[in-house]
Chain A
Amino acid sequence: MQDCCRFDKDRKQTGKLPLVFWGNTTTKKGGNMKKHKMMFFRILMSFVVVLSFATSIQAGEVYKLALSLAITGPTSDAGNPYAKGVEDYFRFVNDTKLLGEDKIECTIRDDQYNNDVTKRNFEDFLGQGIVLYLNYSTGSTMGLKRDFEEEKIPVIPASFHAGNLIDSNYIFLPIASYSEQIIGLAEYVAKNHKGDKAKVALFIHPSAFGRGPVEDLTKAVKAGLNIEVVEVVEHGQDLDNTAMLKRLKSKGVQYVLCQTVQSPVATMLKDANSIGYAAKSFGEADKITFMGAHYTGGNDLIALAGVAAENFFWTTSYRLTSEKSAGADAQLALAKKYGRDDKAANSHNYTNGIMVAQVATEVIKRVKENGQKVTRSSLYDELNQMNGAKAFEADTTVGPVTYSKTDHAGVDVLQLYRVDGSVFRSVGVPFSSEYIKKIK
């Protein structure tokens, strides 16, 4: 109705000015021939206007979204398949008319993991009139938090840092935070460890991304989680972790929980294997069991560590293509449809990208179904109502996506996986962290 009114207004304007102009021309010397030409031109123009109106009605609305991420540069091993996931799913939405005649136009730009470029991209996207923004890194999400608040734009980042949600209303994490993942792993250790209190070390990235879960795990331990955190190791660009592993072993560490990216974990696993410290099963006596959060695992870890990745335990909220599920089948079909290679098709970060695009599409669809106009505000409100009966069941995740005014972490359920025969296999059923609720 609003569009219709806008057209009427436009038509009045376009009708008025040219009539005056053309009226003046007919009074000039030149006579009937020119008058006929003008008449023909007016008819032609009217036809064009009517045709363009009809086309615009048929084309529907275009909803502008944007994503800035590291397609090249540091962490592009995660960013590249993530971008492909987002791109393919939105292409699928448009090609299969999931939103009817409406389309999603998502601009994807490479920022090479450079926060300055991310900020520039974001400002440019705002100028394009985006209604929802997909961000990537922890650093840029933290850095742009205030901008998101000022612009009142809902944002779904690829960073699951719990700190993103502090003093923020507009950031929505796709899945459980890194803190929840690490505490979930620690809970698994506490429940399944045989013997006295389990001794745990944290192996983390030297950044906000890595440090995020440390404080929360300490709080969980204070709240009664039955493990002992012996040491927190911030890794560097280490060629050899023998000294660190020897030190941890001398302190009786039995489990190492990793919150970083795959490459340093792969080096550590290789070193642990070369000095015979890596456990061959969970909690093997006198050995160390290695476990990690979302960005430490996946096929990239196996690609880097090779056989040393065996028995690495990993948690995420995503389903993997190494196990049969409707989500995995749909993901592989999507990758095939858009000509992706096996590596991208089977990447958990491709799943990650698809999932955020699914959430964005779903929320747009719901706003449309409510008869509202798709705006930043309506999308934000709708995301906050994505819970209870309105929770979103994305096949790509092990649990439903739920958001509310007080909970901006999407999937609250985690699945534990273990490398077995160079493939990640599920261990048990999906679980959620108990202590994350206790420390909130």
Chain B
Amino acid sequence: MTYFFQLVLSGIVVGSIYALSALGFVLIYKSSRVLNIAHGQLIATGAFITYALTVWLGIPIYISFFISLLITFFLTMSVERIFLRRLIGEPIISVIMVTIGLMSILDGLIYLTPFGSENFSFPLFLPKEPISMAGVSMSWTQLVGVIITFALIGAFSWFFKKSTIGISMRAVSDDQLASMSIGISVPRVFGLAWATAGLSAAAAGGIIGNTTGLNFDTLHAFGITVFPVVILGGLDSILGAVVAGIIMGLIQQFAGGYLDGNWGLNGTGVVLPYIILLIILLFKPHGLFGIHEIERV
């Protein structure tokens, strides 16, 4: 039974990190209907900024983590202002193509820094010994990661449900023209959506970087790894990202724990999330919590 509970715990830990990584996709899609292909690069950028502040400038990691969130917030806001704002009103595919270009630019810029081709790890700032209870254990890094993830997800949920700006963002997501007619600044909302997505990506980067070490390939690959989570949860649902993230985390752990290595199976933890995604999408094409839009003509 310990084995089972360990897998559940690990699944929740991994799933919550997936959820936080997926949040950036959701925030942008929710307000602008755009899929940001450069999300993995934003995750990596956040992690590298935290590292640079911590190690190169000697700022305590607790502070540098929050500074990196702020830097990435303003960085992505600027990216939206410079590259994407002029595309408001253009076909969505054009905007997605620009995010592909953005991905290449960020790749190129990161390759100009030591982070592009060197490996780093955050200095140890939490106890090295794991937390163990009844034979089930997790590291302090994982625990802190889960706490930060749920705190941020809670904050974003409140923000979208209760705050004026959050409600404006949801309104823009529903109908841009109607939102403008009641005085909401659509460009400002888009800017904020990108900024908050950048912030969540930086948080995810910091947590993943602490878990795996800082390797650019590993970090930016998460932009793709969490894609099934985003689709499964429904592209525009924060709750969906959380639930789907944890489902995916649990599937991976159970597949790894019970299927792999038996009956000649291997790598099911990688494949199974996609198979389950396909099956769920057959019955719920908009994902578990995605909004099903009905258009009348």
- Name A residues whose Cβ lies closer than 8 Å to a Cβ of B: 71-77, 79-80, 206, 231-234, 236-244, 246-248, 250-251, 262-263, 266-267, 270, 273-276, 300, 303-307, 343
Contact = CB atoms under 8 A, between A and B. Distances in A.
Nearest to B136: A275
A308 to B, nearest CB: 9
Nearest to B131: A274
Nearest to A72: B111
A270 B3 contact: no
14 contacts: A76-B111, A232-B266, A234-B266, A236-B267, A243-B253, A248-B261, A250-B3, A263-B218, A267-B213, A274-B137, A275-B137, A276-B130, A276-B137, A306-B122
A77 B117 contact: yes
Contacts of A306: 121-124, 213
Contact of A307 (B6, B117, B119, B124): B124
Interface of B: 3, 6-7, 10, 13-14, 17-18, 111, 114, 116-124, 128, 130, 132, 137-139, 141-142, 208, 211-215, 217-218, 221-222, 225, 252-257, 260-261, 266-267, 269-270
A270 B211 contact: yes
B117 A266 contact: no
A303 B55 CA distance: 13
B167 to A, nearest CB: 34
A79 B111 CA distance: 13
B130 A274 contact: yes
Given A237-B218, A240-B13, A246 B212 contact: no
Contacts of A242: 6-7, 10, 253
Contact of B213 (A237, A244, A263): A263
Contacts of B254: 243
B7 A246 contact: yes
Contacts of B137: 274-276
Given A237-B225, A240-B10, A71 B117 contact: yes
A145 B152 CA distance: 52
Contacts of A266: 119, 121, 212-213, 215
A343 B119 CA distance: 10
B252 A243 contact: yes
A270 B139 contact: yes
A304 B119 CA distance: 6
B117 A72 contact: yes
Contact of B257 (A77, A246, A267, A304): A246
A104 B10 CA distance: 54
Given A237-B225, A306-B123, 12 more contacts: A77-B119, A236-B270, A237-B222, A237-B270, A240-B10, A240-B211, A243-B254, A270-B212, A273-B128, A276-B130, A276-B137, A303-B119
A267 B252 CA distance: 16
B118 to A, nearest CB: 6
State the main secondary structure of chain A at its contact with B: helix
A267 B211 contact: yes
A201 to B, nearest CB: 9
A267 B219 CA distance: 12
A74 B121 contact: no
Given A77-B119, A251-B261, A303 B213 contact: yes
Given A74-B217, A239-B17, A244-B260, A304 B211 contact: no
A300 B253 contact: no
A242 B117 CA distance: 28
A305 B3 CA distance: 25
Contact of A243 (B111, B118, B217, B256): B256
Contacts of A267: 211-213
A79 B121 CA distance: 20
B254 to A, nearest CB: 7
Contacts of A238: 252, 256, 269
Given A239-B208, A242-B6, A274 B266 contact: no
Nearest to A113: B217
Nearest to B132: A276
Contacts of A80: 117-118
B256 A239 contact: no
Contacts of B124: 306-307
A243 B119 contact: no
Given A276-B137, A303-B120, A306-B121, A263 B217 contact: yes
Contacts of A250: 3
Contacts of B17: 239
A77 B215 contact: yes
A100 to B, nearest CB: 35
Nearest to B110: A72
A244 B221 CA distance: 21
Contacts of B257: 243-244, 246-247
A75 B116 CA distance: 10
A233 B3 contact: no
B230 to A, nearest CB: 16
Given A243-B10, A247-B261, A274-B139, A304 B121 contact: yes
B271 to A, nearest CB: 9
A43 to B, nearest CB: 53
Most buried by A among B6, B130, B138, B256: B256
A77 B266 contact: no
B119 A262 contact: yes
B213 A274 contact: no
Contact of A263 (B116, B119, B225, B270): B119
Given A232-B266, A236-B269, A237-B222, A343 B121 contact: no
B118 A303 contact: yes
Contact of A239 (B3, B14, B111, B128): B14
9 nearest CB pairs, A to B: A304-B213, A243-B256, A274-B139, A236-B270, A243-B257, A80-B117, A76-B117, A242-B10, A72-B111
B101 to A, nearest CB: 17
B103 to A, nearest CB: 13
A24 B120 CA distance: 74
B138 A274 contact: yes
Nearest to A262: B119
